[in-house]
Structure 1
């Protein structure tokens, strides 16, 4: 693999999808980032991004590099840059998380971290609401929007994508306007606990005939009937489903890691948080890449 600093720059631009957005976190100016990316592409002999006034979008080669680079990042974080004398993580750590992350991302991520730290006990608290850190319901929480109040530290983990999906054997809709005759699968409107989960406006829909407060239940509903917005990283777990109308509708949301401000002094929790974020980035990238591979059967009407 290339020099790690170059890969770090590549990952930041890939996640931010623009030089100006990636620059503050890397403490570099956009022009310098552009030159770094150009040199990396020259050494690899391939374009990693499609550049446009709208930003930097990954090419196929770039998507493949992102998957491998995110895995390397996760491995480094898991090692914690610890010296040979430093012991592994131990004790109990509880993570609060929304349904999608708790079901499709965290099980394999936490298993990998725990496998490297046999004395560590990881608990995943999956709730259809925001976890209350002030009441110590969990040591840290994953959210879909950054909290605006409280003595907390907030770090962005990664962006993720959502698409319309339905059964592969169902006729593909011709447009968003044609969704009216399909039962829509989604959240129970009055139980949406975060504005980022309210997708009805994006669909122009007025109601949800098949609804649940659980993403996992929604996925099971879609296996039987209807059409709905699904996390791209969840689709590899439901091979019966296929994305549709991707040119008309593709949503981007983000996961955030929220911790008690006082816990910044805990080396143990900080090491775990770094490993968790890096591993989540790698897993989201891997599953979304798998979704794109399977997406040869996608239909756009």
Structure 2
């Protein structure tokens, strides 16, 4: 076996189909299939259960996966030790993040890192779901819940705050709610209820709201709906400075706190990724503190 065969094996195991693995490997499915067959012949065992639904690892494949990932990590650490020894960082790092963080925090943080390290390429993967590090969708991820598997390490990154907000035009037309119980009669903006990918994001249920007339999987879309006068929304305090049309509503009753977690693969990181993780950690904490300290109007 050689490392190139291991790359094909890992990509197929993570993608669970030849077609999906094609994007990672930049090989056509027929070539990937031939490489898998060659690997299985060398191993003397079937590594995948193959069906029209995709490729699923056999017991032998699962055993090989653990060793292949160890080899991948060791190789990454070796390369990182070379690039991390210099002051300047290089290469490509992909960061997975929920779109609120990806839209309102990471652009500033990544811009500052890129200015200090011009040979470093930073990619932000903003998805309305949990980024799958096990399939190597990203090198690290910012999540709203601590990872629940031993294969991932979660570090508490920073708390952040959320408030109920609406445009002044909406409140002038529809009135200002006097209590949380009034919200059931107001037009609310939030996530599509059956597409909430993490319980930490189910803000409106906790407020007794059962109907969401304006909904999106994206918090930035929700914010724009609120800015347009669509209704009341739970928004990140760090996003409020970008929305001067909005004002806080019921600030004494609706003041939520959630936590960002910095999630990486368990085990030792290579020197380069360790340095980048530290830069992101400090940058995001500073950016949340800066934005949350900016003045925002309260309800009239």
Partner of 1:221: 225
Structure of larger gyration radius: 2
> How do residues 31-180 of structure 1 correspond to structure 2 at under 5 angstroms?
86-169=86-169, 170=171, 171-180=175-184
Aligned length: 211
* Partner residue in 1 for 2:276: 272
2:184 touches 2:208 (CA, 8 Å); kept in 1? no
1:260 is aligned, of 262, 265, 285, to 265
Q: CA deviation at 1:181?
A: 2.6
Give CA-to-partner distance per residue, 1:18-66, whole Å, 9 cap, x none.
xxxxxxxxxxxxxxxxxxxxxxxxxxxxxxxxxxxxxxxxxxxxxxxxx
Show the counterpart of 2:246. Answer: 241
TM-superposed CA distance for 1:260, in Å, is: 1.0
- Secondary structure (helix, strand or coil) at the match of 1:230 reads strand
Secondary structure (helix, strand or coil) at the match of 1:278 reads helix
Deviations 1:204-234 (A, max 9, x none): 1111111000001101111122001110001
Q: Determine helix, strand or coil for the equivalent of 2:281.
A: helix
Shift of 1:89: 1.0
Cα shift at 1:125? 0.2
* CA–CA separation in structure 1 for the residues paired with 2:86 and 2:220: 39
**In the alignment, which residue of structure 2 is the partner of 1:196?**
200
SS at match of 2:128: coil
CA–CA distance in structure 1, aligned partners of residues 128 and 205 of structure 2? 21
Provide the rounded CA distance (Å) in 2 between the counterparts of 1:107 and 1:124. Answer: 9
Question: Aligned residue for 1:284?
Answer: 288
What stretches of structure 1 of length at least 5 have no aligned partner? 1-84
- The corresponding residue for 1:62 is none
Stretches (4+) displaced over 4 A: none
| Bigger relative contact order (CA 8 A; separation at least 6) | 1
CA RMSD in angstroms comes to 1.3
Q: What SS does structure 1 have at the residue aligned with 2:93?
A: strand
Return the offset for 1:149.
1.1
Q: Per-residue displacement from partner, 1:92-151 (whole Å, max 9, x unpaired)?
A: 000000010000000010010111001000000000100011110000000000011141
Q: Tell whether 2:236 aligns with 1:231.
A: yes
| Kept after mapping to 1: 8 A contact 2:184/2:210 | no
- What is the alpha-carbon distance in structure 2 between the residues aligned to residue 215 and residue 99 of structure 1? 7
Q: What corresponds to 2:37 in structure 1?
A: none
- Partners of 2:276 and 2:91 lie apart in 1 by 11
User: Given that residues 109 and 283 in structure 2 are in contact (C-alpha distance below 8 angstroms), is that contact kept between their aligned partners in structure 1?
Assistant: yes
Shift of 1:172: 2.2
